[in-house]
Amino acid sequence: MTSIDSFAAALPKVELHVHLVGSASPGTVLALANRHPDSRVPKNEEELREFYVFRDFPHFAEVYEAVNNLVRDPEDVALLVEGAAADLAVQNVRYVELTVTPYSHQRMGMPVEEITRALDIAAANAQRDHGVRVGYIFDIPAEWGGAAARGTLDHALQAPPANLVGFGLAGIEQDRPAMRDEIRDAFRAARAAGLRSLPHGGEMSGPETIWEVVNHLGAERIGHGIRCLDDPDLVAHLRETQIPLEVCPTSNVCTQQVPHLAAHPLPRLLEEGLYVTLNSDDPPMFGTTLTREYQVVADAFGLGRTELAALARNAVNAASLDATSKAAILAEIDEVART
């Protein structure tokens, strides 16, 4: 391991963009697949690796849904949260905002109260057993239409987990226009209830998707946002407002949103003075970790200790944490950066 790799590993971190189902380790997925032999998810590790090779984003969405369909009871939900916390703890992650798609679990027949109870228990166990604080983001899967928007909002407002901090929007961006008004209404209600607006935008479609989440959903952070560079006016707006971007380089390569890592726009995003955070998205599916994302960009783009520490600080400052908690993690980062 190089010195910069060791530094990246030692950095205290915050993870802002990771999906619950996408965080499931291969061992967890295989255990679930073998418990549910009716699924099309492979039952051995070699075939699972092949299953995780994606042709494009729609293919990734199909695979993700197949894995999601293995999560059939609240105990499975809690298992995923606690597994994610265990994986993050060894990477010196202090806090994670874990994106949960509750409507997908509702579709599997789970009552919302039981989903919430599982999330609450798992968050407490993650803090106690792994020292990782968990916040939740409830996101709407756009490809499932208006029912998904209503189901997600109802769960968030009527039976939220204690650590629910934000309201999100993910899935296939090209499916959003058909349910534009329902999405806007859901975000308006969620924001009125005090949830932060944390939607994806500009991952697989152009700047218009980012403008939509900024102008009509009140985005406080943007998941991905890499297509902003296609619109100079949007770049200027993001530079002025410093709306954080949750950038996930390996994810973008694996889902064919960029052809290879060297072509990733991360260096230009930084050059343009935009607010960038590093994240892992669906780490086992993409063969990465949050620590690995820091190491990968350091190697690919020549980032040093100062730049990596700045990215780590950005994530802390963009998190849904109180000022005291942020200050504690920032102090840890500064201590590591001085060594």
Catalytically annotated residues: 203
The per-residue b/e assignment along 27-59, b for 16 or more CB within 10 angstroms, e otherwise, is ebbbebbeeeeebebbeeeeebeebbebeebee
Cβ distance 90 to 54 under 8 Å? no
Q: With the C-alpha atoms ordered 10, 11, 12, 15, is the resulting torsion angle positive or negative?
A: negative
